[in-house]
Structure 1
Amino acid sequence: MNRAMTHQSQDSDLYTKLKIVLIGERGVGKTSILKRFTDDEFDSSRLTTIGVALKEKTVTWKRKSVKLEIYDTAGEERFRSLTPVFYRGTQGALIVFDVTDKYSFSKLDVWLNELNIFSTNPNIVRILVGNKIDKGERQVTVEECQKLAEQHQILYMETSAKTSSGVQQLFEVVVDKMLQTPGLWEKINSGRLKIGDRTPSCRPDWCNGMC
Protein backbone atom coordinates (compact mmCIF):
# COMPACT_ATOMS: atom_id res chain seq x y z
CA MET A 1 0.00 0.00 0.00
CA ASN A 2 1.14 3.49 -0.72
CA ARG A 3 1.90 4.72 2.80
CA ALA A 4 1.32 8.29 1.63
CA MET A 5 -2.38 7.79 0.93
CA THR A 6 -3.69 11.35 0.74
CA HIS A 7 -7.08 12.99 0.59
CA GLN A 8 -8.38 14.74 -2.52
CA SER A 9 -11.10 17.38 -2.81
CA GLN A 10 -12.34 16.56 -6.33
CA ASP A 11 -14.00 13.49 -7.85
CA SER A 12 -12.62 13.97 -11.38
CA ASP A 13 -10.67 11.13 -12.99
CA LEU A 14 -11.77 8.60 -10.40
CA TYR A 15 -10.14 5.18 -10.71
CA THR A 16 -12.94 3.47 -8.81
CA LYS A 17 -15.42 3.83 -5.96
CA LEU A 18 -15.42 1.58 -2.90
CA LYS A 19 -18.03 0.99 -0.22
CA ILE A 20 -17.06 0.37 3.41
CA VAL A 21 -19.37 -0.30 6.35
CA LEU A 22 -18.58 0.09 10.06
CA ILE A 23 -20.51 -2.26 12.33
CA GLY A 24 -20.43 -3.11 16.02
CA GLU A 25 -22.19 -2.45 19.30
CA ARG A 26 -23.37 0.96 20.49
CA GLY A 27 -20.70 3.21 21.98
CA VAL A 28 -17.62 1.41 20.66
CA GLY A 29 -16.46 4.47 18.72
CA LYS A 30 -17.45 3.77 15.11
CA THR A 31 -18.50 7.35 14.48
CA SER A 32 -15.38 8.71 16.18
CA ILE A 33 -13.11 6.52 14.03
CA LEU A 34 -14.87 7.75 10.91
CA LYS A 35 -14.75 11.40 12.02
CA ARG A 36 -11.05 11.11 12.80
CA PHE A 37 -10.35 9.66 9.35
CA THR A 38 -12.47 12.01 7.28
CA ASP A 39 -12.07 15.27 9.22
CA ASP A 40 -9.18 14.59 11.61
CA GLU A 41 -11.43 15.59 14.51
CA PHE A 42 -12.54 14.00 17.77
CA ASP A 43 -15.62 14.98 19.76
CA SER A 44 -16.11 13.14 23.04
CA SER A 45 -19.64 14.53 23.34
CA ARG A 46 -20.95 13.06 20.07
CA LEU A 47 -24.45 11.59 20.23
CA THR A 48 -25.23 7.99 19.28
CA THR A 49 -25.73 7.42 15.56
CA ILE A 50 -29.39 7.15 14.56
CA GLY A 51 -29.94 4.64 11.77
CA VAL A 52 -27.10 4.88 9.26
CA ALA A 53 -24.85 7.84 8.44
CA LEU A 54 -22.78 8.25 5.29
CA LYS A 55 -19.44 10.00 4.88
CA GLU A 56 -17.40 10.21 1.69
CA LYS A 57 -13.68 10.69 1.18
CA THR A 58 -11.57 10.61 -1.96
CA VAL A 59 -8.05 9.32 -1.40
CA THR A 60 -5.00 8.63 -3.54
CA TRP A 61 -3.87 5.04 -3.84
CA LYS A 62 -0.74 4.43 -5.94
CA ARG A 63 -1.33 7.73 -7.76
CA LYS A 64 -4.94 6.86 -8.50
CA SER A 65 -8.02 8.61 -7.09
CA VAL A 66 -10.36 6.32 -5.18
CA LYS A 67 -13.64 7.51 -3.70
CA LEU A 68 -14.69 5.88 -0.44
CA GLU A 69 -18.33 5.70 0.61
CA ILE A 70 -18.25 4.86 4.31
CA TYR A 71 -21.43 3.86 6.13
CA ASP A 72 -21.52 4.30 9.91
CA THR A 73 -24.25 2.03 11.28
CA ALA A 74 -26.06 2.31 14.59
CA GLY A 75 -25.35 -0.43 17.12
CA GLU A 76 -28.63 -0.12 18.99
CA GLU A 77 -31.02 -3.06 18.73
CA ARG A 78 -33.92 -0.90 17.51
CA PHE A 79 -31.94 0.01 14.37
CA ARG A 80 -30.56 -3.46 13.65
CA SER A 81 -33.24 -4.22 11.07
CA LEU A 82 -31.83 -1.41 8.89
CA THR A 83 -28.20 -2.48 8.95
CA PRO A 84 -28.41 -5.56 6.66
CA VAL A 85 -29.74 -3.38 3.82
CA PHE A 86 -26.43 -1.54 3.71
CA TYR A 87 -24.34 -4.72 3.42
CA ARG A 88 -25.36 -4.98 -0.24
CA GLY A 89 -22.44 -4.25 -2.55
CA THR A 90 -20.08 -3.56 0.34
CA GLN A 91 -16.45 -4.38 -0.42
CA GLY A 92 -15.00 -3.69 3.03
CA ALA A 93 -16.28 -4.12 6.58
CA LEU A 94 -14.75 -2.81 9.79
CA ILE A 95 -16.12 -4.74 12.77
CA VAL A 96 -15.46 -2.48 15.74
CA PHE A 97 -15.43 -3.20 19.48
CA ASP A 98 -14.19 -1.40 22.59
CA VAL A 99 -11.13 -3.02 24.20
CA THR A 100 -12.33 -1.65 27.55
CA ASP A 101 -15.78 -3.25 27.21
CA LYS A 102 -15.88 -7.04 27.38
CA TYR A 103 -19.54 -7.11 26.34
CA SER A 104 -18.82 -5.42 23.00
CA PHE A 105 -16.18 -8.07 22.37
CA SER A 106 -18.56 -10.91 23.27
CA LYS A 107 -21.03 -9.72 20.61
CA LEU A 108 -18.55 -9.85 17.73
CA ASP A 109 -19.63 -13.34 16.66
CA VAL A 110 -23.16 -12.00 16.19
CA TRP A 111 -21.96 -9.16 13.99
CA LEU A 112 -19.66 -11.40 11.96
CA ASN A 113 -22.45 -13.91 11.43
CA GLU A 114 -24.83 -11.18 10.29
CA LEU A 115 -22.20 -9.88 7.87
CA ASN A 116 -21.70 -13.37 6.42
CA ILE A 117 -25.44 -13.80 5.92
CA PHE A 118 -26.27 -10.47 4.31
CA SER A 119 -23.11 -9.50 2.43
CA THR A 120 -23.49 -9.91 -1.34
CA ASN A 121 -19.72 -9.96 -1.98
CA PRO A 122 -18.16 -13.33 -1.06
CA ASN A 123 -14.67 -11.77 -1.12
CA ILE A 124 -15.52 -8.84 1.14
CA VAL A 125 -12.50 -7.60 3.10
CA ARG A 126 -13.15 -7.83 6.85
CA ILE A 127 -11.05 -6.25 9.57
CA LEU A 128 -11.62 -6.65 13.30
CA VAL A 129 -10.96 -3.31 15.03
CA GLY A 130 -10.21 -2.90 18.73
CA ASN A 131 -10.85 0.76 19.54
CA LYS A 132 -10.14 2.98 22.60
CA ILE A 133 -6.63 1.67 23.21
CA ASP A 134 -5.80 5.07 24.73
CA LYS A 135 -7.68 4.01 27.86
CA GLY A 136 -5.75 2.16 30.54
CA GLU A 137 -8.45 -0.24 31.72
CA ARG A 138 -8.44 -2.96 29.03
CA GLN A 139 -10.92 -5.79 29.54
CA VAL A 140 -9.87 -7.66 26.40
CA THR A 141 -6.28 -8.75 25.83
CA VAL A 142 -4.47 -8.53 22.53
CA GLU A 143 -4.12 -12.31 22.59
CA GLU A 144 -7.89 -12.78 22.87
CA CYS A 145 -8.45 -10.43 19.95
CA GLN A 146 -5.88 -12.14 17.76
CA LYS A 147 -7.33 -15.55 18.60
CA LEU A 148 -10.82 -14.49 17.52
CA ALA A 149 -9.45 -12.95 14.32
CA GLU A 150 -7.61 -16.17 13.52
CA GLN A 151 -10.76 -18.21 14.11
CA HIS A 152 -12.61 -16.10 11.53
CA GLN A 153 -9.56 -15.77 9.25
CA ILE A 154 -9.64 -11.99 9.27
CA LEU A 155 -7.20 -9.22 10.09
CA TYR A 156 -7.03 -7.57 13.51
CA MET A 157 -5.99 -3.94 14.11
CA GLU A 158 -6.17 -1.55 17.06
CA THR A 159 -7.07 2.14 17.07
CA SER A 160 -7.68 5.16 19.22
CA ALA A 161 -10.03 7.68 17.65
CA LYS A 162 -9.15 10.07 20.47
CA THR A 163 -5.40 10.15 19.81
CA SER A 164 -5.72 9.12 16.13
CA SER A 165 -3.42 6.15 16.72
CA GLY A 166 -3.89 3.48 14.05
CA VAL A 167 -6.84 5.17 12.30
CA GLN A 168 -5.04 6.24 9.12
CA GLN A 169 -3.28 2.88 8.94
CA LEU A 170 -6.61 1.08 9.31
CA PHE A 171 -8.09 2.72 6.24
CA GLU A 172 -4.86 2.35 4.29
CA VAL A 173 -4.95 -1.39 4.92
CA VAL A 174 -8.63 -1.89 4.09
CA VAL A 175 -8.34 0.11 0.85
CA ASP A 176 -5.21 -1.77 -0.14
CA LYS A 177 -6.80 -5.15 0.59
CA MET A 178 -9.96 -4.27 -1.33
CA LEU A 179 -8.09 -3.08 -4.40
CA GLN A 180 -5.89 -6.17 -4.39
CA THR A 181 -8.85 -8.57 -4.24
CA PRO A 182 -9.73 -9.80 -7.76
CA GLY A 183 -13.38 -9.46 -8.73
CA LEU A 184 -14.30 -7.27 -5.77
CA TRP A 185 -14.37 -4.00 -7.73
CA GLU A 186 -14.13 -2.62 -11.26
CA LYS A 187 -12.69 0.50 -12.81
CA ILE A 188 -14.93 3.42 -13.58
CA ASN A 189 -15.44 3.50 -17.34
CA SER A 190 -16.86 6.47 -19.25
CA GLY A 191 -18.30 7.96 -16.12
CA ARG A 192 -20.20 4.78 -15.25
CA LEU A 193 -19.41 2.67 -12.23
CA LYS A 194 -19.64 -1.10 -12.32
CA ILE A 195 -19.50 -2.58 -8.86
CA GLY A 196 -21.82 -5.52 -8.22
CA ASP A 197 -25.01 -4.54 -6.46
CA ARG A 198 -25.86 -0.89 -6.00
CA THR A 199 -26.65 0.52 -2.59
CA PRO A 200 -30.43 0.85 -2.13
CA SER A 201 -31.89 4.31 -2.01
CA CYS A 202 -31.64 5.85 1.44
CA ARG A 203 -34.48 7.35 3.39
CA PRO A 204 -33.63 10.46 5.43
CA ASP A 205 -34.86 8.84 8.64
CA TRP A 206 -32.51 5.87 8.04
CA CYS A 207 -29.40 7.88 7.37
CA ASN A 208 -29.90 10.77 9.76
CA GLY A 209 -30.15 13.12 6.78
CA MET A 210 -26.63 12.34 5.56
CA CYS A 211 -27.40 10.16 2.49
Structure 2
Amino acid sequence: MDPEYYYHTSFSITKKAARTTIFPHLQINFNLSLHKEYTNYLINFETGPRHLPLPLSHRSPSTALIIVREHLSFDDVQEAVGAAIGDSLRGHERSHAILLAWERLLGAFSPQEPLPKYVELDFDMDVWTRYWYVHGEGSDDGGGMVPAAEEEIRMLEECDVAEEERYCSICLEELGVALRMPCSHVFHGGCIKDWLRKSHYCPLCRYQMPTATTE
Protein backbone atom coordinates (compact mmCIF):
# COMPACT_ATOMS: atom_id res chain seq x y z
CA MET A 1 0.00 0.00 0.00
CA ASP A 2 1.44 3.37 -0.96
CA PRO A 3 1.77 5.80 1.98
CA GLU A 4 -0.64 8.70 2.22
CA TYR A 5 0.80 12.01 3.37
CA TYR A 6 -0.60 15.23 4.78
CA TYR A 7 1.06 18.50 5.65
CA HIS A 8 0.39 21.70 7.53
CA THR A 9 2.34 24.96 7.38
CA SER A 10 2.34 27.71 9.99
CA PHE A 11 4.00 31.14 9.85
CA SER A 12 5.09 33.73 12.36
CA ILE A 13 6.95 37.03 11.91
CA THR A 14 8.59 39.05 14.68
CA LYS A 15 9.73 42.64 14.15
CA LYS A 16 13.06 43.51 15.72
CA ALA A 17 14.47 46.92 16.60
CA ALA A 18 15.66 49.17 13.78
CA ARG A 19 19.30 50.20 13.45
CA THR A 20 20.97 53.10 11.68
CA THR A 21 23.10 52.57 8.62
CA ILE A 22 25.69 54.78 6.90
CA PHE A 23 24.00 54.38 3.50
CA PRO A 24 21.07 56.57 2.34
CA HIS A 25 18.47 53.86 1.92
CA LEU A 26 16.08 51.65 3.84
CA GLN A 27 17.47 48.15 4.29
CA ILE A 28 15.06 45.36 5.20
CA ASN A 29 16.23 41.96 6.33
CA PHE A 30 13.79 39.05 6.50
CA ASN A 31 15.67 36.45 8.52
CA LEU A 32 13.93 33.23 7.50
CA SER A 33 14.07 30.03 9.46
CA LEU A 34 12.47 27.23 7.45
CA HIS A 35 11.63 24.19 9.58
CA LYS A 36 10.47 20.82 8.26
CA GLU A 37 9.28 18.03 10.51
CA TYR A 38 8.35 14.52 9.40
CA THR A 39 6.31 12.01 11.37
CA ASN A 40 5.60 8.49 10.16
CA TYR A 41 2.69 6.31 11.20
CA LEU A 42 2.33 2.63 10.52
CA ILE A 43 -1.25 1.35 10.44
CA ASN A 44 -1.34 -2.41 10.76
CA PHE A 45 -4.89 -3.55 10.21
CA GLU A 46 -4.35 -6.53 12.48
CA THR A 47 -2.63 -4.87 15.46
CA GLY A 48 -3.52 -1.16 15.20
CA PRO A 49 -1.52 2.05 14.69
CA ARG A 50 1.90 2.99 15.99
CA HIS A 51 4.64 5.53 15.29
CA LEU A 52 7.48 4.42 13.10
CA PRO A 53 10.90 5.16 14.64
CA LEU A 54 11.73 7.67 11.92
CA PRO A 55 11.40 11.17 13.41
CA LEU A 56 13.12 13.63 11.13
CA SER A 57 13.51 17.38 11.27
CA HIS A 58 15.35 19.88 9.15
CA ARG A 59 16.01 23.61 9.52
CA SER A 60 17.27 25.94 6.78
CA PRO A 61 18.18 29.52 7.77
CA SER A 62 18.34 32.18 5.05
CA THR A 63 17.96 35.93 4.67
CA ALA A 64 15.93 37.97 2.21
CA LEU A 65 17.65 41.33 1.71
CA ILE A 66 15.57 44.21 0.33
CA ILE A 67 17.05 47.63 -0.44
CA VAL A 68 14.49 50.44 -0.80
CA ARG A 69 15.71 53.74 -2.26
CA GLU A 70 12.50 55.27 -3.57
CA HIS A 71 9.35 53.17 -3.37
CA LEU A 72 8.43 50.00 -1.53
CA SER A 73 7.43 47.42 -4.13
CA PHE A 74 5.61 44.11 -3.77
CA ASP A 75 7.67 42.79 -6.69
CA ASP A 76 10.87 43.43 -4.73
CA VAL A 77 9.50 41.60 -1.70
CA GLN A 78 8.23 38.73 -3.84
CA GLU A 79 11.60 38.33 -5.55
CA ALA A 80 13.70 38.54 -2.38
CA VAL A 81 11.52 36.43 -0.07
CA GLY A 82 10.76 33.94 -2.84
CA ALA A 83 14.47 33.43 -3.52
CA ALA A 84 15.14 32.94 0.21
CA ILE A 85 12.37 30.34 0.47
CA GLY A 86 13.64 28.46 -2.58
CA ASP A 87 11.97 25.09 -3.08
CA SER A 88 11.07 24.69 0.58
CA LEU A 89 7.51 25.89 -0.10
CA ARG A 90 5.47 25.66 -3.25
CA GLY A 91 2.10 26.69 -4.58
CA HIS A 92 -0.35 28.23 -2.14
CA GLU A 93 2.00 27.92 0.84
CA ARG A 94 4.73 29.84 -0.96
CA SER A 95 2.32 32.61 -2.00
CA HIS A 96 0.99 32.80 1.55
CA ALA A 97 4.48 33.31 3.00
CA ILE A 98 5.33 36.08 0.51
CA LEU A 99 2.02 37.86 1.03
CA LEU A 100 2.43 37.67 4.81
CA ALA A 101 5.90 39.23 4.55
CA TRP A 102 4.50 42.02 2.38
CA GLU A 103 1.57 42.73 4.72
CA ARG A 104 3.85 42.80 7.78
CA LEU A 105 6.18 45.17 5.99
CA LEU A 106 3.36 47.56 5.05
CA GLY A 107 2.23 47.59 8.65
CA ALA A 108 5.66 48.78 9.79
CA PHE A 109 5.35 52.16 8.07
CA SER A 110 2.79 54.93 8.06
CA PRO A 111 1.28 55.52 4.60
CA GLN A 112 1.24 59.28 5.26
CA GLU A 113 4.97 59.51 5.92
CA PRO A 114 7.91 59.04 3.54
CA LEU A 115 9.99 55.92 3.94
CA PRO A 116 12.92 56.42 6.31
CA LYS A 117 16.51 56.52 5.09
CA TYR A 118 19.64 55.40 6.88
CA VAL A 119 17.61 52.67 8.59
CA GLU A 120 18.11 48.92 8.75
CA LEU A 121 15.10 46.91 9.85
CA ASP A 122 15.01 43.23 10.83
CA PHE A 123 12.10 40.81 10.69
CA ASP A 124 12.44 37.25 11.99
CA MET A 125 10.22 34.95 9.97
CA ASP A 126 9.62 31.36 11.10
CA VAL A 127 8.00 28.93 8.69
CA TRP A 128 7.07 25.51 10.07
CA THR A 129 5.97 22.76 7.70
CA ARG A 130 4.90 19.51 9.29
CA TYR A 131 4.47 16.36 7.23
CA TRP A 132 2.97 13.13 8.40
CA TYR A 133 3.01 9.94 6.38
CA VAL A 134 0.59 7.08 6.96
CA HIS A 135 1.79 3.64 5.89
CA GLY A 136 -0.55 0.65 5.80
CA GLU A 137 0.33 -3.01 6.15
CA GLY A 138 -1.28 -6.30 7.01
CA SER A 139 -4.43 -7.93 5.77
CA ASP A 140 -7.41 -5.75 5.03
CA ASP A 141 -9.70 -8.50 3.79
CA GLY A 142 -11.19 -8.78 7.26
CA GLY A 143 -12.67 -5.31 7.03
CA GLY A 144 -9.65 -3.11 7.74
CA MET A 145 -10.27 -0.81 4.78
CA VAL A 146 -14.06 -1.07 4.78
CA PRO A 147 -15.49 2.43 5.32
CA ALA A 148 -17.90 3.23 8.09
CA ALA A 149 -21.50 3.86 7.20
CA GLU A 150 -22.04 7.46 6.13
CA GLU A 151 -25.04 7.80 8.44
CA GLU A 152 -22.87 6.79 11.42
CA ILE A 153 -20.23 9.36 10.44
CA ARG A 154 -22.87 12.11 10.30
CA MET A 155 -24.06 11.17 13.78
CA LEU A 156 -20.71 11.94 15.44
CA GLU A 157 -21.21 14.86 17.82
CA GLU A 158 -19.05 17.90 18.47
CA CYS A 159 -17.50 18.21 21.92
CA ASP A 160 -15.10 20.33 23.90
CA VAL A 161 -11.79 18.70 24.70
CA ALA A 162 -10.05 18.11 28.00
CA GLU A 163 -6.45 19.14 28.73
CA GLU A 164 -5.19 15.60 28.14
CA GLU A 165 -6.96 15.54 24.74
CA ARG A 166 -5.29 18.64 23.31
CA TYR A 167 -4.03 17.09 20.08
CA CYS A 168 -5.64 15.22 17.22
CA SER A 169 -3.91 11.84 16.88
CA ILE A 170 -4.43 11.81 13.12
CA CYS A 171 -2.92 15.16 12.10
CA LEU A 172 -1.02 15.93 15.35
CA GLU A 173 -2.37 19.49 15.42
CA GLU A 174 -3.98 21.13 18.47
CA LEU A 175 -7.69 20.55 18.96
CA GLY A 176 -10.36 23.15 19.57
CA VAL A 177 -13.85 21.84 18.97
CA ALA A 178 -13.64 18.18 18.02
CA LEU A 179 -15.75 15.15 17.17
CA ARG A 180 -15.98 12.32 19.71
CA MET A 181 -16.11 8.69 18.63
CA PRO A 182 -18.40 6.23 20.47
CA CYS A 183 -15.23 4.82 22.06
CA SER A 184 -14.62 8.32 23.56
CA HIS A 185 -11.53 9.20 21.48
CA VAL A 186 -11.62 12.70 19.94
CA PHE A 187 -10.28 14.02 16.64
CA HIS A 188 -10.66 16.97 14.30
CA GLY A 189 -13.93 16.64 12.44
CA GLY A 190 -12.35 16.65 9.00
CA CYS A 191 -9.61 14.22 10.04
CA ILE A 192 -11.86 11.55 11.52
CA LYS A 193 -14.46 11.83 8.75
CA ASP A 194 -11.79 11.32 6.08
CA TRP A 195 -10.41 8.41 8.10
CA LEU A 196 -13.77 6.69 8.58
CA ARG A 197 -14.56 6.97 4.89
CA LYS A 198 -11.59 4.65 4.34
CA SER A 199 -11.63 2.44 7.44
CA HIS A 200 -14.33 1.80 10.05
CA TYR A 201 -11.76 1.26 12.84
CA CYS A 202 -10.91 3.93 15.42
CA PRO A 203 -7.30 5.00 14.69
CA LEU A 204 -6.36 4.54 18.36
CA CYS A 205 -8.23 1.58 19.84
CA ARG A 206 -9.65 -0.19 16.76
CA TYR A 207 -13.22 0.22 17.96
CA GLN A 208 -15.37 -0.83 14.99
CA MET A 209 -17.92 1.62 13.65
CA PRO A 210 -20.91 0.11 11.83
CA THR A 211 -20.40 -0.24 8.10
CA ALA A 212 -22.85 -0.05 5.23
CA THR A 213 -22.72 -3.85 5.04
CA THR A 214 -23.23 -4.44 8.78
CA GLU A 215 -26.19 -6.69 9.31
Output the TM-score relative to the length of structure 1. 0.22
Which structure has greater helix proportion? 1
More strand by share: 2
Larger radius of gyration: 2
Length-normalised TM-score, structure 2:
0.22
